[in-house]
Chain A
Amino acid sequence: MKFGILVNEGPYQHQSSDSAYMFTKAALENGHEIYRVFFYHDGVNNGTRLTVPPQDDRHIVNRWTELGKEHNLDLVVCIAAAQRRGLLDENEAKRQGKDANNIAEGFRISGLGQLIEAGIQSDRLVVFGD
C-alpha cells in the first residue's frame, strides 16, 4: 500500500515529527511504500541542516535524511511555509537575494500542489501535527 505522510510540526518542539518518522519506518519495514513525506507549517524546520542537537539526543533532521537515502524517499518541504520561516535551498536563496541556504540533504522545496498530489496518488494520507 502507498502512504502519503504530512508532518505539520517542527522537530523537538512537538512529538509529531518523531511519530511520523516511527510510522514511516514501520510502514517501510512492513513492505509498504511511502509516496511522499510532505512538511508543512513549522514542519518545514525538519529540513534545516543547521540543526545541532545535544550529542545524546536523536538527530531528527539527519534521521529523515538517512531514512530518505536508504529508501529513496521524496521528502518535500512546502515553499510558502519555508519562506516564512527562513528555510531556503540554493535556488531560492539566490532568487530572494539571501547570502546563505540551509536545506538539509535529501529534502527538496516545492509547492503545496505536492501535498494535494500526495493525497491523490497515495492510498492513505496520514497527518501528524498539533
Chain B
Amino acid sequence: MTENVTKKFLYVNRKAPYGTIYALESLEVVLIGAAFEQDVSVAFIDDGVYQLKKDQSTDGIGMKNFSPTYNALGDYEVTQIYVDKESLDERGLTADDLMNLVYEDEDDDYAEKSSISIVNRDELAKLMEQQDVVLSF
C-alpha cells in the first residue's frame, strides 16, 4: 500500500441500483479505497441518486439489499457525499427520500453529523474540478 501520496478521489455514481451491478460494485470500490487514506468524495448524479433511496426492500426480487452498506461509509471515514439537486428535482425526490447517512465527527466531540450535502450544478462542477482522480461508474 502506498502511504505517502494523498490524492483527491471522486467516485461518480450515475446508475440506479439492481437493474445493473454497477452501483453495488462501485460501492465495493469505495469501501476498499477507504483503506488507502486518500481524500475521498462520492457523488450521486442522474439515476445514481436512486442508490440512496430509503426503504429499499429486495425480498421480492431474490437479490441482496445492499443499501444498508451505505450506512457503513461513515465508519470508513467516507463522509463527503454529494447529491446533485437537479437530479433529485427531475425525479420528484427530496432529501427526505434519501437514507440518513451520518458520521461521528471526532473533531467535534463525536457529534453525529450528516454525510450528505445536496449541491447545485456550480458546486458539483467545482467539486469535480478539484479532483486528482475521477472514477465513474
Contact = CB atoms under 8 A, between A and B. Distances in A.
B46 to A, nearest CB: 14
Nearest to B7: A120
Interface in B120-137: 132-137
A14 to B, nearest CB: 12
A40 B25 contact: yes
Interface stretch (B29-37, B51-59, B77-85, B99-107): B29-37
A117 B2 contact: yes
**A interface majority secondary structure:** helix
A125 B1 contact: no
**B interface majority secondary structure:** mixed
- Contact count band on A: 10 to 19
B28 A80 contact: yes
Interface of B: 1-2, 5, 7, 9, 21-22, 25, 28-29, 32-33, 35-36, 38, 132-137
Interface of A: 6, 8, 40-41, 80-81, 111-113, 115-117, 119-121, 125, 127, 129
Contacts of A115: 29, 33, 135
A93 B25 CA distance: 22
Contacts of A121: 2, 5
